[in-house]
Structure 1
Amino acid sequence: MSLVSRRPMKALALGIAAATMVGGAAQALAQAVVVRSTGPSAAAYPMGKKLPANASVSLKPGDHVTVLDKSGTRVLSGPGIFTMTGAVDRNAGVGTALASLMARSGGARTRTGAVRGAPTEAPVGPPAPESVWYIDVSKGGTYCVADPAQVILWRPNRDADGTGKLAAPDGAMADVAWRAGNALKLWPAASVPVTDGQTYKFVNPVGQTVQITTKVLASVPEDPLEVANLLADDGCTAQLGLIANAAGN
């Protein structure tokens, strides 16, 4: 076979390879992501599990699995078999709440490092962060970070002044102080930089000491399902739980 005749075949092979790569990338994004799971089948559908298109979810009596798909969040309640097609209508209010929760702008920084912008109304039920990007210092865990220079620390009790201490494994430390009425505080990045994969200790004089692991995202997509995929990949389960809360599930 001549060199001339081999070139079209080579170009065709490259085209097929490129199409295969694109197809594989598209398949990597799940049709839905589990954001909460309770009941007998919770182990089979744990938080963070990705469900491909047309996947069947088989649930037993007492099962409640909350999933996020392209249309928003919904609760699958057993018994029953559910197919992940995404063809489910949602309440517009749920979509608005989800968009607000996942917005990257969570408040305006003041000169003292405090952050304004949190709702002043009393929360319904147990208090929870108003943004998926806030770090709950009362629980700790693994948190995905959109912007390492603008990480917000959140506390559930804002009734009085509060203090804590943030420490890195290399010995770097910084005090964190909240004023009464404020639940938000900017992470002291100048003293304790936010590093991808690093685990920090937060010491609370009036609460438990927790571990906080940060996973810095290279970029943050606009689509909530794509964000949930990234959170699931990095094990940021606390943030997935907040997504379930957005729909009141």
Structure 2
Amino acid sequence: MCLVDTPRKRQGGVRTFAAGMAALAGVMLAGSAVAQSVVVRSTGPSAATYPQGRKLAANASVVLKAGDHVTVLDKAGTRVLSGPGTFTLNGAVNRDQSGGGTALAAMMTRGAGARTRTGAVRGAPTGPVAAPSGPENVWYIDVSKGGTYCVADPATLVLWRPERTDEGTGKLLSQDGSMADLTWRAGSALKVWPAATVPVVDGQTYTFSNAVGKPVKIRTMVLPSVPEDEVEVAAAMAAKGCNAQLDLLANLASAEQSGG
């Protein structure tokens, strides 16, 4: 039998080859995305080289000088890299931290998890509760510090306060003039954002004030979609300038490394 090489056959072969190469490239890119890291805090002489929010490729080498402290987040969790030294981000740099990935996953839980914990604030406190140094969830807004916060779901946005022993009050004022009075029950650190009276608007600035401390500014950045991967979530936060949340992730790393 004589096999004829026609232009149609050649085009089909080219398409098959191109499709195969595209699939291979997709697999390679997916693997790279899973393994990459994001800088969530950086101090020291090399801070300009590794600024907060920088994404680092898989197996990238981080070269640090004396006095450098760079906190990175990858699929294994968070870790503080301290100079001088060279560190390879191969996905194994955090394996020595027991529970690091679990703590990170818990902190980044959103949606139903936030609603469940928020619902718990409606009950009476069962006893004295030690106030943590920061929110236990990266999606909570710390009203004692303010800052720019990325919002996963405006309907489940939560305000967090550090002093939970006594009843607390405050006022939330939007730049558009809408306003709401807030009350935290004794023993509770959480309060649902009053979206019915003060809508959560992308890029909007709000002022929170109470009888204790100075008023703070809160800016909300609503994410159109939220990645499932923790590293990509941190990257999205960095792109929106949500440094308050990146600082919270960095604090988690510091607490884990110090055994706190």
Q: Common fold, TM-score beyond 0.5?
A: yes
**Aligned residue for 1:50?**
55
Instruction: Indicate how the Cα distance of structure 1 residues 198 and 208 shifts in structure 2: closer, same or farther if over 3 A, else same.
Output: same
Aligned structure 1 segments of 4 or more residues deviating by more than 3 angstroms: 2-30, 113-117
Cα 1:77–1:211 shift into 2, 3 Å: same
The answer (yes or no) to whether the contact 1:60–1:79 under 8 Å persists in 2 is yes
Which of 217, 221, 225 is equivalent to 1:215?
221
- Indicate the residue corresponding to 1:242 in structure 2: 248
Between 49-58 and 23-32, report the one with greater CA deviation.
Answer: 23-32
Distance 1:9-1:44 versus aligned 2 partners, 3 A rule: same
Q: CA deviation at 1:39?
A: 2.0
The separation in 2 between residues aligned to 1:24 and 1:196, in whole angstroms, is 34
User: TM-score scaled by structure 2?
Assistant: 0.80
Which of 152, 160, 169 is the aligned partner of 1:154?
A: 160
Query: Secondary structure of the equivalent of 2:244?
Result: helix
Deviation sequence 1:89-132 (CA, Å, 0-9, x none) = 2433222221221112131437xx85899x964256xx211111
Number of residue pairs matched by the alignment: 244
- C-alpha offsets along residues 187-209 of structure 1, whole Å, 9 cap, x if unaligned? 00000111222222222332222
Map of 1:201 onto structure 2: 207
Q: Indicate which of 50, 70, 90 corresponds to 1:85.
A: 90
CA distance in structure 2 between the partners assigned to 1:233 and 1:5 by the alignment: 46
Superposition pairs of residues 1-249 of structure 1, within 5 angstroms: 4=8, 8=12, 11=15, 15=19, 22=26, 26=30, 31-88=36-93, 89-104=95-110, 105-106=113-114, 107-109=117-119, 121-123=129-131, 127-247=133-253, 248=255, 249=257
Q: CA deviation at 1:32?
A: 0.7
Deviations 1:125-182 (A, max 9, x none): xx21111110011111111111100100011112322221112222111111112221
Inter-CA distance 243–6: structure 2 relative to 1 (3 Å threshold): same
Maintained 8 Å contact 1:146/1:219 = yes
Instruction: Give the distance between the partners of 2:128 and 2:239, measured in 1 at CA.
Output: 33
Worse-matched range after superposition: 14-23 or 172-181: 14-23
Counterparts in 2 of 1:222 and 1:92: CA distance versus 1, 3 Å: farther
Structure number having the greater helix percentage: 2
Q: State the 1:61 CA deviation.
A: 0.8
Answer with 139-148 or 159-168: which moved more: 159-168
**After the TM superposition, which of the residue ranges 166-175 and 143-152 deviates more from structure 2?**
166-175
The 1:4/1:149 distance shift into structure 2, 3 A limit, reads: same
Question: 1-side partners of 2:191 and 2:122: how far apart?
Answer: 5
Contact 1:34 1:65 in 2 (8 A): yes
Query: Can you list the C-alpha shifts for 1:219-244, whole angstroms capped at 9, x where unaligned?
Result: 33333222212222212111112222
3-state SS, counterpart of residue 246 of structure 2: helix
* 8 A contact 1:115–1:185 mirrored in 2: no
| 1:17 CA displacement | 9.4
**What code does the residue aligned with 1:175 have?**
D
Q: Which TM-score applies when normalising by structure 1?
A: 0.83
Give the greater-gyration-radius structure (CA): 2
Name the SS of the counterpart of 2:38 in structure 1. Answer: strand
Task: Determine if contact 1:143/1:236 at 8 Å carries over to the other structure.
Answer: yes
Q: Percent identity?
A: 59
Give structure 2 stretches of 5+ with no counterpart.
1-5
Question: Aligned pair in 2 of structure 1 residues 24, 154: CA closer, same or farther (>3 Å)?
Answer: same
SS at match of 1:215: strand
Q: Out of 6-15 and 186-195, give the one that drifted further.
A: 6-15
Q: Which amino acid aligns with 1:109?
A: G
